Amino acid sequence: MGTVRNRIADTSVAHDGISEVTTTRSVGHPEHGMIYHPGLLAAVTPVHLHQLTPGRYVMVFSRRWYDATVSLVDPGAYLDDFSEDTEPGWAIVTGTGTWSFPARTATVPGPQGRVLTAATSRSNTYLYLLSSYDGGGYLQHFRWSPDRDMLLPVGEEYLGPVDADGQKVIFDKGVFLDGEHLVVVGSGDSDDAVYMARKPWGRVGANRVWASGGDRGDLDDPSWRYASATGWVASSTELAALPMTTLGPVSVYRHRDTMFMATVAADGDDRFAQVWRRRYGTWSPVAGTTPLGSVADNTYLGGTLQLQPYVRTSSSDLVVPCLTAVASMHEVVDDEVEEVSHTEYRIDVAWDKWTVSL
């Protein structure tokens, strides 16, 4: 009888192995991080994985290291001579460890100066990216063409700051789909309070109602609606803050009528992710936090706990795959002279299963 070897470890978060190949390689796990290449894709900070076909994804990331020199003692670390690109980036990756850049470029098309904060998907066809740009938010809508195996631009839109509660609200923190609507999440520039706005998911970049000859109401109206104390309204001056704050991006997951939002909180210089749950219209914090690094030593890389509901988990429990990306550095000592010879750097991408608490 022949023996069949299963390449995917029993401990893998994702059933197709995508979590294994995107986790940072280490001495104890040299099989991890098969997608990383010191010349072009040395390390990244993943934000979202958009599934194209089973086991094949578009991974979008907020920063990329390249032209790096691999450490001689730590396979996931690099010397300090690497280059860094902080424009929104993407790569097509598979659970078997193969990868390529869409349209042969690692950078998502768009204006320079964007900082990718969030992304979401509508099935495997539509991909939405939200970036912080020029004092506001920058929303991009792409469609995957399976015949051409390409991501095609559908629309883009700059979201300028709006006035509410005596401050500027900037919608550059999060994006998610809620039924027929695309929802963006913002925060106040004074108190970091969280706000939401929405529009029909197919109307990104549009500024007029469809000339359809009929009245489809809100689904055809391309204007933004803002979350107020009484519902969704046309005037941004009626914006009402949610009962939480965030110091960074947010990531959102919905399970039936319950919504979960991972925010960024602080304890001094340390940053950590705090998940909030909305049930029956009431928000409350979920017990437990996830460390994200520190602003004091630049180990915090500007992300949050990135919930990945479009990645299938290998667990039979009610869990959501999630990941974090945290920088680390360590000094290497030359034993002969007993002095520090150099410093090595890592971006530690780690996956986990976040248990859905209803």
Concatenate the DSSP letters of all residues of 111-150 into one string.
Answer: -TT-EEEEEEEETTTEEEEEEEETTEEEEEEEEEETTTTE
Distance CA 162, CA 9 (A): 48
Residue 288 backbone class (left: φ over 0; alpha: ψ -120 to 50; beta: rest): left
Domain holding 262, by residue range, is 18-355
CATH number of the domain bearing residue 269: 2.115.10
Per the domain annotation, does 13 fall within a domain?
A: no
Contact 16, 46 (CB under 8 A): no
* Whether residue 217 has pLDDT greater than 60: no
Share the mean pLDDT of the chain.
91
How many domains does the chain fold into? 1
Per the domain annotation, does 239 fall within a domain?
A: yes
Per the domain annotation, does 2 fall within a domain?
A: no
Per the domain annotation, does 235 fall within a domain?
A: yes
Confidence of residue 239 (pLDDT cuts 50, 70, 90): very high
Confidence of residue 221 (pLDDT cuts 50, 70, 90): confident
Per the domain annotation, does 144 fall within a domain?
A: yes
Contact 142, 129 (CB under 8 A): yes
Per the domain annotation, does 5 fall within a domain?
A: no
Per the domain annotation, does 3 fall within a domain?
A: no
Percentage of the residues of the chain whose pLDDT score is greater than 90: 76
Supply the pLDDT for residue 184: 98
Per the domain annotation, does 294 fall within a domain?
A: yes
Query: What average pLDDT does the segment 237-244 reach?
Result: 96
Q: What is the pLDDT of residues 318-356, one digit of tens each?
A: 889 999 999 999 888 776 777 777 889 999 999 999 888
Q: What is the pLDDT of residues 77-119, one digit of tens each?
A: 999 999 999 999 999 999 999 999 987 889 999 999 999 999 9
